[in-house]
Chain A
Amino acid sequence: MTDKGNKDYMADEKGFYGQFGGAYIPEMLYHNVEQLRQQYKPIIESASFQQEFKKLLKDYVGRPSPLYYAQRLSEIYKTNVYLKREDLNHTGSHKVNNTIGQILLAKAMGKKRIIAETGAGQHGVATATVCALMGLECVVHMGEIDVKRQMPNVLRMKMLGAQVIPSMSGSRTLKDAGNEALRDWINNPEDTFYLIGSVVGPHPYPDMVARFQSVISEEIKWQLKEKTNSELPNYVIACIGGGSNAMGAFYNFLNDTSVKLIAVEAAGKGVNTDETAASIAKGSVGIIQGAKTYLMQTNDGQIIEAYSISAGLDYPGIGPQHAHLYNIGRTQIMDATDHEALEAAFELTRVEGIIPALESSHALAALKKLKFEKSDVVVVNISGRGDKDMDTYIANMDKYCQK
């Protein structure tokens, strides 16, 4: 979880990755964010924190998550495909790695009330879960549109004791839930901890969340070593909305420049349409939710509402570290449309018996577009399971299911 001494890829003291990142926040948030910035490293680097974090990841989350050699998928793409099974984590996605880390930090800082934003509801559920585990009050902000399209997760959060507040502002999706959470924090600065779900927001969030998610690539390394005798794959592929599962999957490979790191954005109905969430393909540099990064905006600097079939990728920005890694050429950005993601989801289900989340299906869709060698080792991060997306899958079953 340290920065491995590589300053090219990591945040500087003020949270900048090259020109990206920083903390573009009004004074009303300064105290909270500064308090977190001063305390996060000493706390999470302490031996007692690490011990408790690792214990919970093992005994409660069920880590390590398997690295599975997908034989039939490998035959189709004439290469060696390994799936990193974050979908098998407790609560069904990679989000819990981060919420376990942040809840331990919140506790260490003496905070009593936890707030979070959520898109698909995976981060909301993961937050409500750790709040139940620690006996802390939990308030989740969720766009009104997402509340409607992700009802099972809303009900899960309620069952876990969280209060879900529908965000009625703006586009009423993930970015607006984030705005509402920030407003909540402004109004409740003393006892409240804002548990951000991705590598976005003002410094130190992007760095902190990346550290908590870095367990994904840490495990991939030793698991690959066991299976292939080399800890380095040729490719790591992950989907990217804000970018937390991708950052976790890339983190420990950043210095291994032979490893191609591929981030797949949600193209929605296509990057050349207005209904897309491809923040890099369609975006330009600006400030969103406290960080300088690539975002989709008008010429007047108004943030454009994103669209994707997947609520977890439906975000008009991207984490600042991803913006930097793309800018310096360390990562390659691809995109997948709704249609391509659905195709990939049904394919994985039929050939491997794994129903992936719609988000993860975007990563799988990249397999079709890349040219692999037969000997290549390709790791695809399956960030979550598809239970929450059953309504969408059912609606598209006739079109995508072969008999």
Chain B
Amino acid sequence: MGSRGRDADALMPLVTECADRLSKAMFPRYTCRLFEINASEDSIEVCGTELVLRGQSIKEHLEGCQKCVLLCATLSAGADKLIRQLEAADMAMAFVTDCLASSVIETVCDEAEQEMRSRLPKSYFTWRFSPGYGDLPLDLQGTFLNVLEAQKRIGLNVTESGMLVPAKSVTAVIGVSDRPIARAKQGCVGCNMYNDCKFRKGGDHCGS
């Protein structure tokens, strides 16, 4: 919300009310599956599917991994609708709710990731890498969602320009290995916001 860690007490009543509304309107869902992967020179093939992950960034991300988890999660159309309705009635609330929703969807992904981790106790995981990061193209969203049957299972769609609908949704690839992974943590350098990040400019980081 632009507070960047500064004292924002005056905002708290508004935030609490928005959080309450959001929790009633949303219906978080996720689905994820484990696949074997097959690396070639400039891409990673997700075995048994039509999905090929292209680009240098995803190759680096999955280096040393034998498998990957494809994950998608959404807060549901209800969250989008609430934000849209608030935009017409009270823009400040809409903005706060939008920020909250962006944060909650990460929590839903954490939950999905946790389930996977508990099912694969002796494996090592990378952080979550999403289409659009680095040079992993956004136009694979359609195939990505088809592979997970995301439309049917969690109601997640993609527009022709590669946007997820509902908007408060995430798709991500997690590398899985039977050995410890060197680059298991995401740093600022790999982030899309690197040049423009307000946290970094303030000598801070966003925490992810």
The answer to whether A and B interact is no
Binding site for A on B (CB under 8 A): none
